[in-house]
Amino acid sequence: MAKSSALKYDASSIQVLEGLEPVRKRPGMYIGSTDQKGLHHLITEIIDNSIDEALAGYAKHIWVTLHKDGSVSVTDDGRGIPVDKHKSGVSALELTMTKLHAGGKFSESAYKVSGGLHGVGASVVNALSDWMRVEVRRDGKTYFQEYKRGVPKAKVQTTPNPQSPLNSPTGTFSVFKPDPTMFTTVDWDYKTVEDSVRNRAYLIAGLHFYLADERSSTSK
Ligand code: 0RA
């Protein structure tokens, strides 16, 4: 029989699928709404993780880029999401990207740092994305993992050819394309993104934001 175009799932993929199912079933419960406002919430979830890394004293720069294909990338020069293996054998990066953080912002977490909760929200963005890729720069290496609707395509690996333009020895690059079946629109509004970036930038001295819109080749 010909290989179908549908994904083949092994036991661990099915676990991830089941774990993220509540997000895809009731996206509004996690991001407020599935309209353009909810859509933009995806970007703020990812930016807020980088901001937490800035508040922890590490990230100094955050780059946000709206890409031509409708994907968005957020890059920071913080320490990089940890990639070490949990006792289960799964990378901390994979756990961050695939496990719902129960109770979210109000629960205790091993990743809690000075008022921020590292990584919370990333799995929600991942679950609501058609695809996502995360690259982590640390130990002189670039680790990466790719996901399809939240499910890892393979284990965390290293690559000699990073996609991110990060030119710092450490940092995190996340790029995702929202799943059009989860939102009433997947069109980013430059002004909305700009306002949200500006409002955050005002609050944090010494943190520099860069926003680029490759759809129009404008950057600010
Ligand atoms: C937990 C621990 C460490 C870094 C981070 C989280 C981290 C998370 C995000 C999410 C976006 N950017 C990030 N940057 C850092 C520190 C691990 C260590 O070096 O010991």
- The model's pLDDT over 100-123, given as tens digits with 9 standing for 90+, comes to 985 444 334 444 444 445 556 999
**Radius of gyration for the chain, computed over Cα atoms and rounded to the nearest angstrom:** 17
Which residue of 79, 93, 164 sits with most ligand 1 atoms within 8 Å of its CB, as the best mutation to test the pocket? 79
pLDDT band at 8 (very low <50, low <70, confident <90, very high): confident
pLDDT higher than threshold 90 for residue 193: yes
3-state secondary structure of 128: coil
Per-residue pLDDT at 101: 80
Please state, rounded to an integer, the average pLDDT across all residues of the chain: 90
pLDDT, average across residues 17-38: 94
Of ligand 1's listed atoms, the one at least distance from the Cα of 174 is 11
Residue 27 Cβ contacting ligand 1 at under 6 Å: no
3-state secondary structure of 182: coil
Residue 137 Cβ contacting ligand 1 at under 6 Å: no
Q: How far apart are CA 37 and CA 34, in angstroms?
A: 7
- The model's pLDDT over 132-141, given as tens digits with 9 standing for 90+, comes to 999 999 999 9
pTM of structure? 0.90
Q: How far is the CA of 145 from the centre of ligand 1 (A)?
A: 16
Query: Ligand 1 atom 12: the closest Cα is on which residue?
Result: 50
- Orientation of helix 190-203 relative to helix 36-55, angle to 10°: 30
Per-residue pLDDT at 109: 46
Q: How far is the CA of 2 from the centre of ligand 1 (A)?
A: 43
Q: How far apart are CA 216 and CA 57, in angstroms?
A: 33
Residue 53 Cβ contacting ligand 1 at under 6 Å: yes
Residue 179 Cβ contacting ligand 1 at under 6 Å: no
Query: Ligand 1 atom 20: the closest Cα is on which residue?
Result: 82
Residue 121 Cβ contacting ligand 1 at under 6 Å: no
Burial class (CB in 10 A: 0-12, 13-18, 19+), 7: exposed
3-state secondary structure of 125: helix
pLDDT higher than threshold 70 for residue 32: yes
Query: Ligand 1 atom 4: the closest Cα is on which residue?
Result: 81
pLDDT band at 176 (very low <50, low <70, confident <90, very high): very high
Residues 6+ apart with CB under 8 A from 95: 86
Q: How far is the CA of 58 from the centre of ligand 1 (A)?
A: 9
pLDDT higher than threshold 70 for residue 217: no
pLDDT higher than threshold 70 for residue 2: no
